[in-house]
Amino acid sequence: MLALVQALTLSAGYNAAVVTVGAAILGVAAGACGTFMFLRKRALVSDALAHATLPGIVIAFMVMVGFGGDGRDLFGLLAGAAISATIGLLAVDAMVAHTRLSQDAAIGAVLSVFFGFGIVCLTVVQTMTAGRQAGLEAFLLGSTAGMLYGDAVTIAAGAALCLGALLLLRRAMTVVAFDPQFAAASGFSVRLVDIAMMALVLAVTVIGLRVVGLVLIVALLIIPPVSARFWTDRAGVMVVLSAAFGGLAGYGGSAISAVAPALPTGSIVVLAAFAIFSISFLFSPRRGLLAAALRRRGHEVRVHRRQGLLALSKGEPVLDAMTLAVLRRERLIRRDGVPTELGRTEAAKARLDEARWIAARIALDPDALASQSDVLTPIEDAFTADQIATIDRHLQKPRAV
Amino acid sequence: MGLGGEFVQLSLAPLLIGVLAAVACALPGNFLLLRQQALIGDAISHVVLPGIVVAFLLTGLVSTWPMLLGAALAAVVAVAMIEAIKRLGRVEPGAAMGVTFTTLFAAGVLLLEQSDTSAVHLDVEHALYGNLESLVWFDAVGWASLMDAGALAGLPDELPRMALVALAVCLLTAVFWRPLKITTFDEGYAATVGIPVNLLGIGLVVTAAVAAVAAFDAVGSIIVIAMFICPPAAARLMTDHLGRQVTWSVAFAIASAVLGYTFAGYGPGWVGTDHALSAAGMIATVSGLILAVTCLAGPHRKSVAVVK
């Protein structure tokens, strides 16, 4: 526990602190980039990208060994990853543009074929005399254990660069993500902005490989924006929230992983992100599950209350258990089902309201009605006094209950 | 490369397993592809891992049926989770899928690393790319062993299991051919003629999951994803006729498995080294090459013209 607190407060050693900060910056960049990608409905393209990095990493290793290096230079490996991911991305785009295959088929094909080819390359490395391929596996599931100081700085600096580029491009990317037609009309080149977006996604993916791993890096690009979407309808707010969620997942995940070096960092980061998602999914006041359930329940109560009151006003017996419960709870009826004073007043009101709503369909023109579909709203709240006067002229005088 | 005793002993079983796995995945892959659900295969093959790990933790043994069951259950859980996120959270399908399979896979990896599975053959690398080459038939001495009951008993367990699953997938495809075809192309019409559309959809996903699990055990998840998508996608570019598409996809799957296995096992020998390459990876690569060729030259590669 103490170790975890130390890791979270960046006092568990210099290397661990750099890695944790680096992962947090990476998460922020990934969350922000991912938002634009999510809004452009290309979320899973990043999965193809991530898997397509494997052959590049392995071939870069072989080339570096071929030139007499030890093959573990992170910058060189990431450059290889970027090249093969670019080829994968171009393959997805070409398949979608020039054949009848849909985007998901193209993604799946590139993902599995590039990854398979990467595995073939890995087995080649295993046979090389310099084939201490230890270290390359770290790219599969991510590992911060034993990361060199230079590597950590490379990752942190790369993520910071991405973040800077994002800040510069944020307006153009927001407009394009939100409304491509409007963006094109306002003079943005949608194509160029899309290319810039995918380039940033690619950069984040490549930089994140060593920390999160290529199987799971896609989670850092998808889960934060999906979680952020629950809290807001505004693109700008969503980017900021998503970046914060990504940063939190990266920070927390790598801090926990610093305490438990045997566990793959990628898994912990992804599960941290999923925890944020779960909270958003359940408790967001706008689109969360709990809020939706409460709204549904509230609507149900209003319908039962209304139907119960109408029945009372006509002197009909109320039989439905839930209606009875609702009426009793609001003290509209007594325990034996006889309406109270309050109940009779409310029933009369409901009767008048109902009659007015029926008359409204005749009295008002359809345009005025079209915006008001919920007849459970008290009619005074739905229309202006003038409109109500018009309605009342079409109304027979309500009888007393 | 000779086809003598050594071939029977070392290569016959893995080759057959590869072919059967490829066919078992490619068949449901056709329908998933046409229903725009190609990535379900990807999602399933990722969640198979946590299913297997949980089954292992509960039963404490690496035996086939609990694992098969665990993985199939995990696939169902994943599909339910995707649907729940999609419907209740109003999230687009791709993103819902991304959230689900990365999370379940991450959980599987974590469970695996936390539990003591060092004594058994269960690790992440194995899950990703299988170990086709190790499934040798030790008891075989030559083709004559195919007639020898004692030697046949020594076949790797994966072979009869995979054969059984492949057979079941073929049978299911044949039996449900008409309803599958109708629901795939016109779900509304299918519902009006009384086909239980949703049940059939779930059945398809479960069949795919079972094929994925059986194949996964022998060949790893790479081949599974590649075979779900590449042969059907290549076949889709060859024809407009569903029957012919399925036939092409089976042919492509078999070709990928045979060529991939051959290149991986014997290819290095042709260039003068004796180290074999990953057969699973090579099979996926060959299926990708086939897809690339059909993308460039398939007779029906272009998008269908939109009638205005």
Check if A140 contacts B (Cβ < 8 Å): yes
Check whether B128 has a pLDDT greater than 50: yes
- Which of the 8 DSSP states describes residue A148? -
| A332-352 average pLDDT score | 86
Could you tell me how far CA A329 lies from the centroid of its own chain? 40
Check whether B308 has a pLDDT greater than 50: no
pLDDT value, residue B307: 43
**pLDDT above 90 coverage of chain A, percent:** 25
> Can you tell me whether residue B268 is helix, strand or coil?
helix
Nearest residue to A151 via CA among A223, A77, A202: A77
Check whether A148 has a pLDDT greater than 70: yes
Q: What is the pLDDT of residues A243-276, one digit of tens each?
A: 999 999 999 888 888 887 777 788 889 999 999 9
Cβ contact (<8 Å) for B230 and A112?
yes
| A100-115 average pLDDT score | 92
Check whether B127 has a pLDDT greater than 80: no
pLDDT value, residue A129: 61
Buried-state track A362-371, b at ≥16 Cβ within 10 A, e below 16 = ebbeeeebee
Check if B115 contacts A (Cβ < 8 Å): no
Check if B284 contacts A (Cβ < 8 Å): yes
Say how far apart CA A308 and CA A323 lie, in whole Å.
Answer: 6
Check whether B73 has a pLDDT greater than 90: no
Say how far apart CA A337 and CA A318 lie, in whole Å.
Answer: 8
The mean pLDDT value of chain A amounts to 85
Check whether A316 has a pLDDT greater than 80: yes
Cβ contact (<8 Å) for B236 and A119?
no
Q: Which of B6-20, B57-71, B120-134, B181-195 has the lowest mean pLDDT?
A: B120-134
Say how far apart CA B62 and CA B114 lie, in whole Å.
Answer: 17
pLDDT value, residue B49: 82
Q: What share of chain B is helix, strand, coil (3-state, %, to 5)?
A: 75, 0, 25
Q: Which residue has the tokens 């202006």?
A: A384
Check whether B306 has a pLDDT greater than 50: no
Q: What is the pLDDT of residues B85-123, one digit of tens each?
A: 988 888 888 889 999 989 999 998 888 877 765 555 566
Cβ contact (<8 Å) for B106 and A270?
yes
Check whether A137 has a pLDDT greater than 50: yes
The mean pLDDT value of chain B amounts to 83
| B136-159 average pLDDT score | 74
- Which of the 8 DSSP states describes residue B145? G
**pLDDT above 70 coverage of chain B, percent:** 89
DSSP A65-97: HHTTS-S--HHHHHHHHHHHHHHHHHHHHHHHH
With a CB-CB cutoff of 8 Å, which residues 327-386 of chain A face chain B? none
Check if B36 contacts A (Cβ < 8 Å): yes
| A295-303 average pLDDT score | 89
Cβ contact (<8 Å) for A215 and B128?
yes
| B189-213 average pLDDT score | 86
pLDDT value, residue A396: 65
Choose between B95 and A143: higher pLDDT: B95
Contacts of B39 (CB under 8 A, 6+ apart): A44, A104, A107, A108, B94, B97
Check if A58 contacts B (Cβ < 8 Å): no
Choose between B107 and A368: higher pLDDT: B107
Size of chain B in residues: 308
pLDDT value, residue B5: 66
Q: Which of A255-264, B191-200, B251-260 has the lowest mean pLDDT?
A: A255-264
